[in-house]
Amino acid sequence: MRRLLKKIRNTLRYKLLLLVLLPIFLVIPLVLFLAGHWGQRFGYDQLYHKVSIDLSVAHHAFETFKQSNLSTIGALAESYSFRTSFYEGNARSLQLQLDELKKKHNLAFIHITDKSGRWLYEDSPPFKSKPSTLTEQAMQGTPVFGIEIFSRQELQKESALLAQRVELPLLKTPYAVPSDKEKEDRAMMLRMVYPIHDLLVDETVAVIDVGVLINNNFQLVDTIRDLAYGEGSLMKGSIGTVTIFLDDVRISTNVPLGKGERALGTRVSEKVRNHVLNEGYNWVDRAFVVNDWYISSYEPIYNVSGERVGMLYAGFLEAPFREQMTAALQILIGMFVIVMVLAGFWAFLGAKAIFHPVEAMTLVVRDTQQGKESRIGQVSSHDELGELAIQFDTMLDLIHEREEEIRKAGEELEHKVDERTRELQQKNTDLKETIHLLKETREQLVMSKKLAALGELTAGIAHELNNPTAVILGNMEVLMAELGSKLEPVKFEADLVIEQVDRIRSIINNLLQYSRPTEFGGDVENLNINKLMEDTLILVRHLIDKKQIRVKRNFTAMTSVNINRQELQQVIINLLVNAIQAMEKHGELTITTREWDDKGVVIGVRDNGSGIEEQHKDRLFDPFFSTKKSDGTGLGLSVSYGLIRRYGGNISVESTLGEGTLFEIWLLTNPSVDEASQEQAFDKIIEGGLH
C-alpha cells in the first residue's frame, strides 16, 4: 500500500489512472444506487396505479351488483302476475311470489309495506320494517337503494336465523386499533325499495322492501375478485383479493387466513382505519393485511344517510413483485461490477500513452473556465493527441475571435431592436388613432349623406301633402258651418277628422323642419344650461308624476352655451319624454351636465328602462324609424339630431339591454350655423373625440 501511494504521489501516469478510475468507482455505485431506487419507486408507482384501477373495477362491480338487484325487484313489481295479485288482494299468491324470489336470489328479507313500513300480505304478524329514508323516497314514485346497518335486535325482528348467521367472532390482528369487543353481530345490508303504483288513483300505494345481506356474501366478493384479477393480470405467485368491511371488520372477503380459510373477523390496521373511515379519503399504498404485506387500495362505504359505515378493499400480494425487483437489482449490480472492472483495466493500459497531452489540455480547460487566456503550446507528441493539442489551441483562438464578433454583433443588434421596437410602438399607436378617427368620420359621413338624401325626399313629400290637407281642412270647416245644428250626430267624427288633419300638418311641419332646419331657426342666445334643464323639467313634470319617477340631478357644468333656447329645449324635452316612456312606474331618471374639456358642455339623460336592442342602435336617428308600438312617428330623434348638428354638436347614445339607456348632447360653446362653420365644428369633434 505504501509503495502504491508513493507511485501515485510521484508518477503522473498513476495520478492520471487514479483520476480516471476514482470517478468510475464513485459514480457507478451512485448511479447503481439511484437506478435501483428509481426502478423500485417506478415499479411501486405502477403497482399503485394498477391497484387504483383494481379498486375502480371493484367499485363499479359493487355498484352494478346493487343496480342489478334493484332491476330484479323491479321486474317482479312490474310483472303481470304480481300486479294482478296485488290489485285483487291475493295475499297467498303475493307471498308465494315473494318467497320464490327470496329463495332464488338469496335475499335476507322481502316485504310489501305501506308508507309507514307496516308489512302487508304476509303470514307473520303485522310488524314494521326498520324506518328508512328510502321508504319515504320510494313513496314519491322513485326506486331507490342504499347501504344500511342492522343491529342484532333489528335482525331478530326479521329472522332469528338471520341474526345467528351474521354473528362473527373478532380475531386479534396485528396493527389494528385495540378493542375490547369480542364479536360483531351487526349486518351490512343492501336495502332496495321499489314503489308500487296504483294506476286507478295515480299514486304510490305501497313499496317492495328488500334486503340483501353483505355479511358472508362470498359469491359477491369472489365475483368482484374475478373481474378485477382475471387470469394473467398478476405476476405468478401473487394473489388478488377483495374485501368488504363493516366498520373495520372483514365481514366478506377472500383474503386467506390459513389453508382453505377466509380472514373473516380480522380487522384493518389503525393507519388505514384513520385515513379511510375517520377522514374519508381513499387509501392506495402498501398495507399489512392479516399476515402479509399487500399492495392495497381502500375506499369508504357510505350508508343512505351519507355516513361512513365500512370500506371496500382491493389488493394483491406484494412478495412476488418484491422478489422479482430484488433479482433484477442483483443482476444490475453484477453487470455494473463487470463494467467497472473492465473500465479500470482499460484505463490502466491507456494511462501511460495519453497522460501528458490530456493533462495539458485539462489545465487549459480549467484556465478557460476561470476566464483566463491560456494555450497548450508546443508538445513533443506527434500522434493524434499531439495534433489534437495543436488543433485545440487553434480552436481556442477561433472561439475567442468569434466571441468578440458575437459580442459586438449582439450589442449592435440589441440597439437596433430597441430602436425598431420604439418605432413600431409609435406606429401602432398612430395606426390605432387613425383607425378610430376613420371609423368616426365614416359614421358621420354616412349619417350626413343619409340625412341629405332623406331631407330632399321628405321636403318634396311635405310640400305635396300640404295642399290636399289644406283643402280637406277648409272643406271640413265649410261643411261644419253649413250643417249647423245638423252636425251634432256626426260632430265627434268631424272633430276626429279635423284632429287627424292637424296631426298630418304637425308631421308635415316636422318633415320640413327636418329637411331645412335653417328656415326654422330662431335667435341664438347665451344660455345657462343648468337653469335651462330645471325649466325643462317643469314642462314634463306631469309625465314624471304620472309614473312616480324619481329624478336625480348632477349639474356640474359652469360654461354657458350660445344656442336657440326653443330648439335646444325641444331636443331635451324629446329625450326626456323618450326616457320616461321607456321606464315602468317608480323608475329612476338621471340628468347630468358637465364640462366638455374646453369645447363646451355635455348634457346627459339616463333612464333605467328596458334599453335598446343592438340591431336598432344604428337606426335611432333615421327618419320614420321608431321602436314604439303606437304614437311614434320616428321623427323626434331625427329632428333633434338635425338641430344639434346644425350648431356643430352631436348626440351620442349608450344602451344595455335590460339595464337602461344614456343619451348625451355635445354642445359647442360658440357654434356657427353657416355651412362652413358646421364643417369646421364637425372636424373639431372628430379630432377631439367624444370621450
Strand arrangement of the beta sheet that strand 119-120 belongs to: 119-120, 109-113, 203-213, 187-198, 144-150
Q: Among 257-271, 502-516, 545-559, which stretch is predicted with the lowest mean pLDDT?
A: 502-516
Do 638 and 511 form a contact (C-beta atoms < 8 A)?
A: no
Please give the DSSP secondary-structure letter assigned to residue 233.
S
Report the phi/psi class of residue 239: left, alpha or beta, with left for phi > 0 and alpha for psi in -120 to 50: beta
Domain ranges of the chain: 44-333, 521-688
For the whole prediction, is pTM greater than 0.85?
A: no
The CA-atom distances, in angstroms, between 612 and each of 144, 592, 658, 659 are: 51, 20, 8, 9
Residue 682's pLDDT is what?
Answer: 42
Q: How buried is residue 359: exposed, middle or buried, by Cβ count under 10 Å (0-12/13-18/19+)?
A: middle
Residue 275's pLDDT is what?
Answer: 94
Report whether pLDDT(521) > 70: no
Mean pLDDT of 147-155: 92
pLDDT tens track for 560-605 = 999 888 888 888 988 998 899 889 888 999 999 999 988 899 999 9
Dist CA 308 CA 146 (whole Å): 12
Residue 70's pLDDT is what?
Answer: 92
Count Cα atoms within 13 angstroms, Cβ side, for 129: 29
Crossing angle of helices 636-646 and 384-483, rounded to 10°: 110
Instruction: Return phi, psi of residue 88, to 5°.
Output: -85, -10
Please give the residue that has the higher pLDDT: either 454 or 324: 324
The model's confidence at residue 186, banded by pLDDT at 50, 70 and 90, is: very high
Residues in contact with 203: Cβ distance below 8 Å, sequence separation at least 6, in sequence order:
197
DSSP string spanning 454-476? Answer: HHHHHHHHHHHHHHHHHHHHHHH
pLDDT tens track for 341-400 = 776 666 666 555 566 666 666 677 777 777 777 776 676 666 666 667 777 778 877 877
Residue 415's pLDDT is what?
Answer: 86
Fold of 44-333: Beta-Lactamase (3.30.450)
Of 218, 315, 214, the C-alpha closest to 272 is 315
C-alpha torsion 675→559→570→537, nearest 10 = 170
Buried-exposed string 382-405: b where 16+ CB fall within 10 A, e elsewhere = eeebbebbeebbeebeeeeeeeee
The model's confidence at residue 63, banded by pLDDT at 50, 70 and 90, is: very high
DSSP percent split of the chain into helix, strand, coil, nearest 5: 55, 20, 25
User: What cell does 512 get?
Assistant: 320640413
The model's confidence at residue 685, banded by pLDDT at 50, 70 and 90, is: very low
List strand residue ranges (DSSP E) for 101-253, in order: 109-113, 119-120, 144-150, 168-169, 183-184, 187-198, 203-213, 240-246, 249-253
Do 541 and 573 form a contact (C-beta atoms < 8 A)?
A: no
Residues in contact with 329: Cβ distance below 8 Å, sequence separation at least 6, in sequence order:
36, 39, 40
Residues in contact with 104: Cβ distance below 8 Å, sequence separation at least 6, in sequence order:
none
pLDDT tens track for 198-233 = 877 788 889 999 999 999 999 999 999 999 898 888
Dist CA 415 CA 438 (whole Å): 34
Report the phi/psi class of residue 649: left, alpha or beta, with left for phi > 0 and alpha for psi in -120 to 50: beta
Residues in contact with 115: Cβ distance below 8 Å, sequence separation at least 6, in sequence order:
135, 136, 139, 206, 207
pLDDT tens track for 78-119 = 999 998 988 888 888 998 999 999 999 999 999 999 888 888
Question: What percent of the chain is modeled with pLDDT above 90?
Answer: 31
Residue 199's pLDDT is what?
Answer: 74
Dist CA 668 CA 560 (whole Å): 10
Dist CA 617 CA 666 (whole Å): 18
In the three-class reduction of DSSP (H, G, I as helix; E, B as strand; rest coil), residue 552 is classed as strand
Mean pLDDT of 105-134: 84
Residue 687's pLDDT is what?
Answer: 44
Mean pLDDT of 312-337: 83
Q: Which one-letter amino acid corresponds to residue 388?
A: L
Do 116 and 138 form a contact (C-beta atoms < 8 A)?
A: no
Do 98 and 206 form a contact (C-beta atoms < 8 A)?
A: no
Instruction: Return phi, psi of residue 653, to 5°.
Output: -140, 140
Report whether pLDDT(442) > 90: no
| Pairing mode of beta strands 550-555, 588-596 | parallel
Do 296 and 286 form a contact (C-beta atoms < 8 A)?
A: yes
pLDDT tens track for 615-674 = 777 777 766 666 665 555 566 777 788 788 888 888 989 988 888 999 999 999 888 654
| Pairing mode of beta strands 144-150, 183-184 | unpaired
Q: Name the average pLDDT for the chain.
A: 81
Instruction: Return phi, psi of residue 447, to 5°.
Output: -65, -40
Residue 144's pLDDT is what?
Answer: 94
Mean pLDDT of 488-501: 80
Report whether pLDDT(278) > 90: yes
Do 54 and 299 form a contact (C-beta atoms < 8 A)?
A: no
Which of the four CATH numbers 2.60.40.3140, 3.30.420.40, 3.90.1150.10, 3.30.565.10 does domain 521-688 have? 3.30.565.10
Report whether pLDDT(491) > 60: yes
Question: What percent of the chain is modeled with pLDDT above 70?
Answer: 79
Residue 298's pLDDT is what?
Answer: 95
Of 286, 298, 243, the C-alpha closest to 265 is 243
Residue 566's pLDDT is what?
Answer: 80
Dist CA 632 CA 628 (whole Å): 6
Residue 126's pLDDT is what?
Answer: 64
Mean pLDDT of 531-554: 89
Residue 502's pLDDT is what?
Answer: 74
CA end-to-end span of the chain: 92
The model's confidence at residue 680, banded by pLDDT at 50, 70 and 90, is: very low
